[in-house]
Amino acid sequence: MTALQALGRWWLGVLGRLGRGHLFLLRTLVALGPLMLRPRLWIRELYSVGVRSLLIILVSGLFVGMVLGYQGYITLVDFGSAEALGTVVALSLVRELGPVVTALLFAGRAGSALTAEIGLMKATEQLSSMEMMAVDPYRRVLAPRFFAGILSMPLLAALFSAVGVAGGYLVGVGVLGVDAGAYWAQMQANVDVFDDVLNGVIKSLVFGLVATWIAVFEGYDTEPTAEGVSRATTRTVVHTALAVLALDFILTGLMFGAL
């Protein structure tokens, strides 16, 4: 096979997967309607996807906030504006680090678990058996997980940012001696609900949709073998990380820049 043929075959494979991925998204979105009549299905998944990710999100948020406290202070104190630390920490978290780092952690914790679970259900013929029992796996398995992922991402990102702000406070005020009143007052004065917080929520919603879409699709589209599930799980983490970082660049440009 010539290099050109190999390239053509690879490209056709990529296009095929893209097509399948979008059809998959369409069918999953259609299945969200009936899902609203059975909230128990997605509430269970919300626990599995969201609540079980809490520990890693909270601990990471705390450490990221504390590092921001140190780094922000070191830079600001040179300009005599250490009291602006609260603003720096909050804006960094709400606009960027909260949505992005939460999405990356989500991919590693919940996304990989979703892919492995659905992939194994496929490999052990559980999805096939559902189809033969006249139960649509899109409605029963995929849509609840998809919805739970989209719903939990903004909540996890909000908690990440809140704990991060507390971490910045611990280091900035508790260790480095920044005035507590200035920390909160500067934050309150300079962080806008719409420009900053709402844009951060929109980002985390978009990241939630993309991260869960990739995770659930990779599981459903996996080759039904142990090796196939392993490869799909890896792809979920890698593709989600790349997609989130690329989308973050685009969304940041649209929201805060000149794009």
Closest CA to 165 of 92, 80, 81, 84: 92
Cβ closer to other proteins: 131 or 192?
A: 131
Alpha-carbon gap, residue 125 to 128, rounded angstroms: 5
Cβ closer to other proteins: 132 or 193?
A: 132
Cβ closer to other proteins: 124 or 234?
A: 124
Alpha-carbon gap, residue 228 to 218, rounded angstroms: 10
Residue type, 88: V
Helices 3-35, 199-220: axis angle to 10 degrees equals 110
Query: Least Å distance between CB 41 and other proteins?
Result: 11
Query: Least Å distance between CB 1 and other proteins?
Result: 15
Under a CB-based contact definition with an 8 Å cutoff, are residues 187 and 91 in contact?
Answer: no
Query: Least Å distance between CB 133 and other proteins?
Result: 4
Cβ closer to other proteins: 138 or 183?
A: 138
Residues lying near other proteins in the complex (CB under 8 A) are found at 121, 124-126, 128-136, 140
Query: Least Å distance between CB 117 and other proteins?
Result: 9
Helix/strand number for the chain, H first, E second = 12, 0
